[in-house]
């Protein structure tokens, strides 16, 4: 085989890019391809369907609908074992009462709970509504059975009205639910907060 006079080759070396350069090119192509697949899946997928059905009340801010655990987003209700003080300074089971009030308000009517995200326990975070479109999250805060619990202050107006009217837990005194959980640690199986 005849070689051209100017085409000198070094033994063991192939013409073109170095091995390191080829490796970087492959990595960039794989990264761009992965990002493209992610973008297509993210933008083209249909949103998760809302959870719809009759709810089992777990506590004042947690439900189960068709085996899907739901945490009512933006609110925090007293824990089941939590007690509060009434206007006369007597203990009362505010956590159990909050749960009972939610159960009574729902009255086995179907709820619609659009999925927003998941919490650390894998529960769906949602604002759930009754068939008339009213939010049970807002209702719990407005009736004084939960506190507004998000940075955006979504239910701050409902909380202010409940506090002024001394409804629910605002009739006496209570420890904020998140603080109560900190003071009363327990093994959390994801059913409570």
Q: Rounded mean pLDDT of 70-85?
A: 97
Residue 13 has pLDDT above 80, yes or no: no
Q: Which residues of 120-153 are buried (b: 16+ CB within 10 A; e: fewer)?
A: eeebbbbbbbbeeeebbbbbbbbbbbbbbbeeee
pLDDT at 189: 46
Distance CA 18, CA 11 (A): 14
The 10s digit of each residue's pLDDT in 125-148 is 999 999 999 999 999 999 999 999
Distance CA 72, CA 88 (A): 31
Q: How many CA atoms lie within 13 A of 100 on its CB side?
A: 6
Contact assessment for residue 65 and residue 54, using Cβ atoms and an 8 Å cutoff? yes
Annotated domain spans of the chain = 51-183
pLDDT at 43: 58
Question: Among 35-44, 63-72, 116-125, 135-144, whose mean pLDDT is lowest?
Answer: 35-44
The reply to whether CATH 2.40.50.90 applies to domain 51-183 is yes
């Amino acid at each position: 085989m005849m070689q051209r006079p100017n085409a000198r080759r070094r033994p063991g070396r192939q013409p073109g890019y170095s091995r390191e350069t080829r490796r970087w090119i492959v990595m960039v192509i794989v990264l761009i391809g992965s990002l493209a697949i992610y973008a297509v899946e993210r933008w083209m997928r249909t949103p998760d369907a809302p959870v719809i059905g009759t709810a089992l009340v777990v506590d004042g801010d947690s439900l189960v609908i068709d085996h899907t655990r739901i945490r009512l987003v933006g609110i925090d209700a007293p824990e089941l074992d939590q007690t509060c003080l009434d206007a006369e300074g007597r203990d009362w089971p505010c956590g159990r009462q909050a749960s009972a009030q939610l159960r009574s308000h729902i009255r086995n009517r179907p709820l619609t709970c659009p999925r927003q995200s998941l919490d650390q326990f894998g529960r769906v975070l949602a604002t759930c509504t009754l068939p008339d479109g009213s939010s049970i999250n807002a209702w719990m805060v407005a009736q004084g059975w939960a506190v507004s619990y998000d940075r955006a202050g979504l239910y701050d107006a409902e909380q202010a009205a409940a506090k002024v009217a001394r409804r629910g837990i605002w009739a006496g005194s209570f420890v904020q639910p998140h603080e109560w959980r900190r003071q009363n640690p327990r093994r959390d199986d994801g059913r409570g907060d």
